[in-house]
Amino acid sequence: MDSRVLFTCVGSTDPVRSLRDGAMLHIIRHYRPEKVYIVLSKEMKQLNEKDHRFDIALDKFSKDYNHPLEKIYIDTDIEDVSDFDAFGELFDLHMKRIREDNPDAEILINLSSGTPQMKVSMCLLAQEPKFGRVRAVQVKTPEESSNKSLANTHKTYSAYEEIELNEDNEDGAPNRCTEPQLMQVRKALILKQIAALINSYHYEQERLLITDYYGMDSDSKILKIIDHLIARQKLKKDRGISKLAIDFNFYPVEEEPFCGLIDYYMLLNNLKKIGRLSEFMLRLNPYIIRLQQEFLARKFGFDLTRITYTRANDEDKLSKEKLNATNPELLEFLDQYYRGGLKDNTNISMNLLNGMLKFFDNLNGQKYKKYIDFFNSCEEANKNLRNKVAHTLSEISEAEIRQYAKMSSDKILKEIQKIISFIYKGTLPPNAFTIYDDLNRIIIDSI
């Protein structure tokens, strides 16, 4: 026979009640585990210390049926056995230890002993694939209705008499064990997994899980939305999604480059929410450069394309000749801004654009200084952190972002949102920045 161990709570029907097995003893009777791990609340521990009911019942069974049984008590000192939160992490911890101590054994889980909160926690454990071979066992009560007799906590309960006169010891006593499939619990766990993947923006893994569990085809509304979000995270346009029969505006902003700025902002926001700060900083650099260009164009009327050219590798460079022809005063300023003067064919960078922004803001009485200061802070963070990300395996921490940017990643995003709202004043729809979270809710509500 395969090695088996039992993980069980004990409650008001254990070990014997109304001269019949409680769930723990009944599972031991019919599955014959080699070990039993018994979770004791504070009350159950006191009862066992008072009359040794669990020791007596299990030792008698072991002797009568010549079945060696190792007992391991788990004292929890939990008083409020109706508190669901008291058991979740605790049970998970002990299941890990049980699996470590019994790597090849099948773990039986008793679903019928203890409070409703304990039983739910045990149901959840039974559905966790990380624990390997697990069998959930439920024990039906011998009566038509659930457990009407005196509980084992009653002062007249006699553990010795109940155990000695136990009718389940008789030949032909029915086996009341069942092995429920727990489909509702499994469904709840799948939904929990899906929600966790959705809320961490792992749409490809979520798609696999939904397809595997629900068997949906690619034409389903849910998968079309997920495919849209996968494409959107890659900054690809999916205009066909607007034909989906759903009351939702997938592209509340149509105008380019406004639409692109919004989509990229949401991507940065997703990275920040799930703690991928290194990628956040890498992607922040080109985004701030694009935002600086928009600020120059929208607030100062300066079109950068008039003084740049694009190389074959799509890299934009500054032409001093074009700059001199377009705005010689700006060229003179930048020659002073850079030590040794502005070099021809300079890359379009945060630093260069901050110089231009400073020039134009000075001409306007520094009315936009707070925005220029923000761009300078982003440049400082980029200068100190981008190389670390690009050339080492080190991760960036929130503390490092605060050190160099003088603000948190969350604050950076809030300031970006303010700048976008300022640049495109009066044209910003209310849901422009919440597309992902809005669609996440639609997916979860539709499953």
Residues 299-333, buried b or exposed e (16+ Cβ, 10 A)?
bbebebeebbeeeeeeeeebbbeebeeebeebbeb
**How much is the average pLDDT of 197-212?**
86
On the question of pLDDT at 150 being above 90, the answer is no
Residues of the chain with CATH 3.40.50: 4-180
Among 69, 73, 74, 43, CA closest to 58: 69
In terms of Cβ atoms closer than 10 Å to its own Cβ (0-12, 13-18, 19+), residue 350 is buried
Q: State the chain's mean pLDDT as an integer.
A: 87
* DSSP character at residue 393: S
Asked if the model's pLDDT at residue 190 lies above 50, the reply is yes
pLDDT at 393: 65
For residue 144, is pLDDT > 80? Answer: no
List the single range of 161-170, 384-393, 431-440 with lowest mean pLDDT. Answer: 384-393
Q: Is a pLDDT exceeding 60 seen at residue 233?
A: yes
Stretch (H or E) spanning 415: helix 409-423
Q: Is the pLDDT of residue 147 over 50?
A: no
Chain segment 352-371, per-residue pLDDT in tens = 999 999 999 999 999 999 99
Q: Is the pLDDT of residue 146 over 60?
A: no
pLDDT at 113 over 80: yes
Contact in structure between 9 and 113 (CB atoms under 8 Å): yes
| 8 Å CB contact between 266 and 436 | yes
Q: What angle do CA 138, 23, 51 make, to 5 degrees?
A: 160
Best-predicted range by mean pLDDT among 126-135, 157-166, 227-236, 286-295? 286-295
Residue ranges with strand state E in 152-301: 177-178
41 in Cβ contact with 153 (< 8 Å): no
- Sequence-distant (6+) residues with CB within 8 A of 208 are none
Query: Angle, to 10 degrees, between the axis of helix 277-300 and the axis of helix 258-273?
Result: 150
- CATH assignment of 4-180? 3.40.50
Comparison of pLDDT for 391 and 384, the residue scoring more: 384
> Regarding beta strands 134-139 and 177-178, do their DSSP bridges make them parallel or antiparallel, or are they unpaired?
antiparallel
Residue 97 parent element (H or E):
helix 88-101
Q: Is pLDDT above 50 for 441?
A: yes
Mutual orientation of helices 409-423 and 277-300 as an angle, nearest 10°?
Answer: 20
pLDDT for the residue numbered 40? 94
Whether pLDDT at 52 is above 80: yes
92-96, 217-221, 391-395: which range is least confident on average? 391-395
Residue 431 pLDDT more than 70? yes
Q: Which residue has the higher pLDDT, 94 or 12?
A: 94
How far, in Å, CA of 321 to CA of 153, rounded?
94
Portion of the chain with pLDDT greater than 90, in percent: 49
pTM greater than 0.75: no
Could you tell me the pLDDT band of residue 69, with boundaries at 50, 70 and 90? very high
pLDDT of residue 242 exceeding 80: no
Least confident of 103-107, 144-148, 161-165, 428-432: 144-148
Highest mean pLDDT among 82-91, 218-227, 277-286, 308-317: 277-286
Most confidently predicted of 9-18, 28-37, 260-269, 380-389: 28-37
430: how many CB neighbours lie within 10 A of its CB?
7
